[in-house]
Amino acid sequence: MLTELAEDDARGATAEIFAEIRELYATPYVSSIHRHMATRPGVLEWSWDATAPLFRSGVAQETAWRIAGTAALKPLAPIPREALAVWGVSAADIPKISAVAESFTRVAPLNLVFGGIVRRLLQGKSAGARAMKGAAAWSPPAPLAPPPPMVAAASLADAERRLLELFRSGSGDTAFVPGLYRMLAHWPGLLAHLAAALRPSFESSEKQTVASDLLARIDAAVDELLVTLPAPTRPAPSAVEAKHLLGMIDGYRVTSPEMILFGRLIREALPR
């Protein structure tokens, strides 16, 4: 499983980078891709130094959200309030769950651009150092409400832990359960329903086609954005570290489109 640095444990430069990511991503938490990088000496500092100009200008966010906004799957059947109540989801919980789902549709596209730039640099592509055509004064949207904490699998009963494991992605030291499901694990009845409702889509031809098209458009945008970046000022990771990071980013290229597509499905299936 991927190691992660808890946000509360971040200090110094790491804490500063985490704070800037929360601000520019307009979300109240830091994604696992950044929290994992923070456990590898110098990696978060190098990757954020390399990509931050795109996020500070707002170009990365607006590009990613525009592309992701057109990606969608066939909707899920609406979830009745009566079913949610049986699963222990109160009326007050519904907007919290909706905000969790929305946060991943907001964050995952940005992680694809972030990971895409880092991936290209690790593959030997050079930043172009061409003047960036970003907005002079970009402001992120209002942040979403703080989500529930991610549930630690070790804290769950056996049946609930096995349920959460159904959502595991990848294998070996780059395997992980995406944060969306770790947050929804607070409502195991709902998570069980989603395991049944979403899993047919995991390998469906529709999902594969939409996700592949989304990745292709993100990759094309990344190549255009790369030439607007200045060269990184910090030393690049070693060849061994680069191999690990590329494997990790490849894992996120599977799960990030799922977070965009499934996060939207979950949000739209909830009662208004």
Q: What b/e string do you get for 157-192 counting C-beta neighbours within 10 Å, with b at 16 or more?
A: eeebeebbebbebbeeebebbbbbbbbbbbbbebbe
Q: Tell me what pLDDT residue 199 has.
A: 85
Conformational region of residue 129, where left means phi above 0, alpha means psi within -120 to 50, and beta covers everything else: left
Q: Tell me what pLDDT residue 136 has.
A: 60
Q: CA torsion sign, 16 to 141 to 62 to 109?
A: positive
Q: Tell me what pLDDT residue 128 has.
A: 74
Instruction: Tell the burial category of 265 from Cβ atoms under 10 Å away from its Cβ (0-12, 13-18, 19+).
Output: buried
Instruction: Tell the burial category of 129 from Cβ atoms under 10 Å away from its Cβ (0-12, 13-18, 19+).
Output: exposed
Q: Tell me what pLDDT residue 202 has.
A: 86
Whole-angstrom CA distances from 236 to 39, 43, 128 are: 16, 8, 16
Token pair of 249 as six digits: 């980013």
Q: Tell me what pLDDT residue 58 has.
A: 96
- The pTM assigned to this predicted structure is 0.89
Q: Are 263 and 101 in contact (CB under 8 A)?
A: yes
pLDDT (tens place) for every residue of the chain, 272 residues total? 688 999 999 999 999 999 999 999 999 999 999 999 999 999 999 999 999 999 999 999 999 999 999 999 999 999 999 999 999 999 999 999 999 999 999 999 999 999 999 999 999 998 776 655 554 679 999 988 888 998 988 999 999 999 999 998 876 766 788 989 999 999 999 999 999 999 889 889 999 999 999 999 999 999 999 999 998 889 999 999 999 999 999 989 999 999 999 999 999 999 98
Rounded Cα–Cα distance for residues 106 and 84 (Å)? 25
Q: Tell me what pLDDT residue 119 has.
A: 97
